[in-house]
Amino acid sequence: MKEKISRATLDRIPLYYRTLKILNDGDEEIISSSKLSKILDITPEQIRKDFLDLGQFGIKGVGYRVDKLKRGIENLLGLQYRWHLAIIGVGHLGTALANYKNFPILGFQVSALFDVDEELIGQKINGVKVYDFAKLDAVARRKIIDIGVITVPDTQAQKVADDLISVGVKGIWNFAPTKISVPPGISIVNEDLSVGLTKLSYHLAKL
Binding site for a second copy (CB under 8 A): 7-8, 10-11, 13-15, 17-18, 39-41, 76-79, 81, 83, 85, 91-93, 95-97, 99-103, 106, 108, 146-147, 170-171, 173, 177, 179, 185, 187, 189, 191-207
Our CB check for a second copy shows the closer of 12 and 65 to be 12
Q: How far is the CB of 57 from a second copy (least distance, A)?
A: 22
| Nearest-angstrom CA–CA distance, 180 and 114 | 19
Q: How far is the CB of 147 from a second copy (least distance, A)?
A: 6
Our CB check for a second copy shows the closer of 61 and 196 to be 196
| Nearest-angstrom CA–CA distance, 184 and 122 | 34
- 127, 146 contact by CB (below 8 A): no
Q: How far is the CB of 49 from a second copy (least distance, A)?
A: 16
Sign of the alpha-carbon dihedral angle for 114, 120, 121, 124:
negative
Q: How far is the CB of 165 from a second copy (least distance, A)?
A: 13
Our CB check for a second copy shows the closer of 59 and 96 to be 96
Question: Helix, strand, coil % (nearest 5) of the chain?
Answer: 50, 20, 35
DSSP 8-state symbol, 206: T
Q: How far is the CB of 13 from a second copy (least distance, A)?
A: 6
Q: How far is the CB of 28 from a second copy (least distance, A)?
A: 17
Show contacts of 141-146: CB within 8 Å, 24+ apart: 143/84, 143/86, 143/111, 143/112, 144/84, 144/111, 145/84, 145/85, 145/86, 145/111, 145/112, 145/169, 146/81, 146/83, 146/84, 146/85, 146/170, 146/171
Side chain identity at residue 146, one-letter code: D
| Nearest-angstrom CA–CA distance, 69 and 74 | 9
Our CB check for a second copy shows the closer of 166 and 178 to be 178
Our CB check for a second copy shows the closer of 80 and 141 to be 80
Our CB check for a second copy shows the closer of 42 and 116 to be 42
